[in-house]
Structure 1
C-alpha cells in the first residue's frame, strides 16, 4: 500500500509537470510513455476513481514531503557539525510551554496552520518534549496532512517511547491514509506500552476490522454456510415451489405428473429438498441429461411427462 502511494504521488507530480509547462513540448511524449510504464509496473492507474481515493495523499504533495525531508536533512547536518548544546534552558522550556498553550488555543479555533507554527516554535526551543511533536501531528491530521502527522508522531515516540498518546496519533494518521495494516501495528505498539488502554484497544479493533474488509477474498476462502431453506444456488424452497407451480400450472402436473409444487409444501418433502439443496444435490440433479431434456420439453410447450413416461426413462427412473 505505501509503495503504491509513493508511485501514485510520483505519477501525480509528473502529470502536473506536463500540464504546467515544466516539461518541454518535445519531451512530453516520452514522459507520457514513462508514466504509463511506471503505472503498469506497480499496478497504479490514476484514472481509476477507487484507486485515486485510496492512494492519493492530498492535500499533501510529493514536493512538500520532499521539501520537508531536505529541510530536516540540512538541519541534522548543520547540528551534527556543531557542538551539541547541553539542552534547553529553564527559560527555553517556559517559553516553549507558553507556545504550546497558544497552539492549543489556536487548535480549538480550528486555525491549524497557525497552531502548527506555534508548536514548531516550541519544538525549536525544546525538542526534548514529545508533547510538542504529538500536538503538531494532531494539527497536521486536522488539516488533512496525514503523512506529515506520521513523521511527527514517530518523532514523539523517538523522544519518549512511553508517551502513549503518540501511538494513538500515529495510528490515526495511518488509518486516515487508508493504511489499516500500519494503523493496527501502531495501536498495538501503544498497547505493548500500556496494556488494556481502552482508547487504543477500541482503535485497534476498528483498524483490524477495516483491514479485513479491505482484503480481497482469497480463492481458498470458505463458502459461507447456506441460509435455512436456501440451496447452494441461492434459491429457497418458496422460490423452488413457485418455479414448479409455473411449470405444472398450479395443480396436478400435465399428463398425470405429480403436483411438484404441492409436494414441496409438505413438511417432510420440504425437509428432504432442503437437505438436497444444502448438500449440492440440486445442482447435480439439474446437470443430469434426462432432467435437462425434460425441462427443455416443458419450456417448449410439450407439457410435463406422465408418470409412465418418467418410469420408462432409465435416467429419470434411477433418480
Structure 2
C-alpha cells in the first residue's frame, strides 16, 4: 500500500467524518456511513485515531473538498476538454490570438504585476484572468497567476496554474519553481522535489531550483520512517548551516543591488560580519525558524522571479521586520 494511496483514503475518511459532524448526512444514514468508514480504513490500513499516522497522512490545511474545488475551477478556466495540453494546442492551431489580443493581454499582465507589487493579490489575479482569456497560449500568464495565488496563501490554486503553464510549454522553467514552491508550502515535499527536479532537467544550472530541491529533500522522511526532522534552512549541499548560507548567497548574488531602495543583498551576504551574525542565528536555531516562515518563503519566491519588493514593503511585514531586529540585535 503506497503512502499516496493512504493519504487519499485518509482525506476521504476525513471528508466523510466531517459530513457526519456538520449534518450533511441525515441522522438515519449516519450509522451506515460510520460502518463504511471503518471498513474503508481497515481495507487500506488507515486509522484516523492514530495520531502518528494522522500527522503523516494529513494534507492540512488542504481538504479533499478544497482540492476538488481547485480542480473544478482550473478545469473551468482552461475549458472542458479532458486534455488541457491538447486543448491549448488545438486553440493555438484553430484560433490563435491576434496581435491586438496579444497586446491587450500583455497590458493586463503588466497591470497584474503592478498590483502584485502593491500586494493587491485578488486584483492582480483578475488582471491575469483577463490576460489568459485573451491569450491562453502564453505560459507566463498562468505562472504569474500562480505566484499571486501563492502570495495570498492559496497554494492549491497555484499548483493548478503552474501545471497549466507547463502543459502549454513544458520548457518554461519558472513554472517549475512556482509548482515546487506551492507543493512545498502545502507540505507535500516529495511532489515539491519532483517539480524542482523536472525543472533542473530543463535548466541544470538554475540556482533557485537547486536550492528548492535541497530544501524539499531535507524535509522528506527517510524510507525507514525516522522521526528526526531536518530543517531545510540549516541543511545545504553538504548538510551544514554554512552550506545553506552559501546557497542563499549564491541566489542573491545574481540579483544585483540597490534597485527599488533595496540594499545590495549579495554584498551583505559576502560581508564577514553579516555572515558571522547569520552563523550565530543558525547556531541558536533562529535562522531555521525564520526560514520556515511563509512570509520569508514568499519573499524569496518573489525575489527569485524578479519581483523585487521595496524596503518599505519588507519592513511593513512583521515577520521580516523581526528578521531585521534579529540581525540588529547581533550588532550593527
TM-score tier after normalising by the smaller chain length: 0.5 to 0.7
CA shift for structure 1 position 166:
0.7
Output aligned runs, 1:260-271, within 5 Å: none
TM-score normalised by structure 2 residue count: 0.56
Residues 7, 58 of structure 2: 8 Å contact kept: no
CA shift for structure 1 position 88:
0.6
Give distance in 2, aligned partners of 1:31 and 1:143.
36
Could you tell me which residue of structure 1 aligns to residue 55 of structure 2?
Answer: 50
Alignment pair present for 1:161 and 2:161: no
Give distance in 1, aligned partners of 2:196 and 2:91.
37
Output aligned runs, 1:24-35, within 5 Å: 24-35=26-37
CA RMSD after TM alignment: 3.4
Give distance in 1, aligned partners of 2:12 and 2:94.
39
Give distance in 2, aligned partners of 1:75 and 1:143.
27
Query: Taking structure 1 as reference, are residues 196 and 176 closer, same or farther at Cα in structure 2, changes over 3 Å only?
Result: same
Output aligned runs, 1:79-90, within 5 Å: 85-90=94-99
Runs of 4+ off more than 4 Å: 51-56, 77-84, 212-215
Query: Aligned pair count?
Result: 218
Deviates more, 1:55-64 or 1:26-35: 55-64
Could you tell me which residue of structure 2 aligns to residue 19 of structure 1?
Answer: 21
Alignment pair present for 1:111 and 2:113: no
Give distance in 2, aligned partners of 1:103 and 1:82.
24
Could you tell me which residue of structure 2 aligns to residue 76 of structure 1?
Answer: 81
Could you tell me which residue of structure 1 aligns to residue 159 of structure 2?
Answer: 150
Gaps of 5+ in 1: 219-319
Give distance in 2, aligned partners of 1:82 and 1:184.
32
Could you tell me which residue of structure 2 aligns to residue 171 of structure 1?
Answer: 180
Could you tell me which residue of structure 1 aligns to residue 11 of structure 2?
Answer: 9
Query: Could you say which structure has the larger radius of gyration?
Result: 1
TM-score normalised by structure 1 residue count: 0.58
1:76 counterpart SS class: coil
Residues 167, 187 of structure 1: 8 Å contact kept: yes
Give distance in 1, aligned partners of 2:7 and 2:149.
18
1:61 counterpart SS class: helix
Residues 59, 145 of structure 1: 8 Å contact kept: no
Gaps of 5+ in 2: 228-332
Match of 1:133 among 119, 133, 142: 142
Could you tell me which residue of structure 2 aligns to residue 289 of structure 1?
Answer: none
